[in-house]
Amino acid sequence: MEMSFAFFADAATVPADGKVYVLGGGFSALALPELPGMASFAVVAGFRFTSADAGQVQIIELRFVDNLGKLVVPPTTMRFESAGPPPSGAGEVSVSTVTILQPTLGEPGEYAAEFWREGTLLSTVRLHVLEQQMPLSQPGSPPPA
């Protein structure tokens, strides 16, 4: 089993056809109107399984952490189990996942989605959180509402 991709998106889903459908994907920075503040986004990931993975259970843990490595939300556990080898000629099976997170982000800075398997870090996707600055009004313009 190997991880083939991971990224953040505004929204995503994986219907029965197995393809991942994404809106607003691939960002690495998030600006909130004020901090602390609640955010909502998807963590999209893809995994590849070969015939060597057949009959094995793979457990992946997704951890969303702050810049000190402290959990921001409880970890999410994903479980993969293959009943048999990939279809002949395919060589591998790809599985896409979507995890919706709604963390309260306390401070600006770097956060990360980490994917772990059996105590080994597989991949990290970093998210830079900013507090959105309100634009200064120009002379003669009405104050912001």
Express each pLDDT in 55-93 by its tens digit: 889 999 999 999 999 999 999 999 988 766 666 666 788
**What was the pLDDT predicted at 24?**
97
Query: Is residue 140 one of the residues assigned to a domain?
Result: no
Query: Is residue 138 one of the residues assigned to a domain?
Result: no
Query: Is residue 75 one of the residues assigned to a domain?
Result: yes
Domain encompassing residue 78: 2-131
Query: Is residue 108 one of the residues assigned to a domain?
Result: yes
Query: Is residue 142 one of the residues assigned to a domain?
Result: no
Query: Is residue 143 one of the residues assigned to a domain?
Result: no
Query: Is residue 46 one of the residues assigned to a domain?
Result: yes
CATH number of the domain residue 25 falls in: 2.60.40.2550
Number of domains composing the chain: 1
The pTM of this model reads: 0.85
The 10s digit of each residue's pLDDT in 97-134 is 999 999 999 999 999 999 999 999 999 999 999 998 76
Q: 33: number of CA atoms within 13 Å, CB side?
A: 1
Residues 38-53 have a mean pLDDT of 92
Query: Is residue 81 one of the residues assigned to a domain?
Result: yes
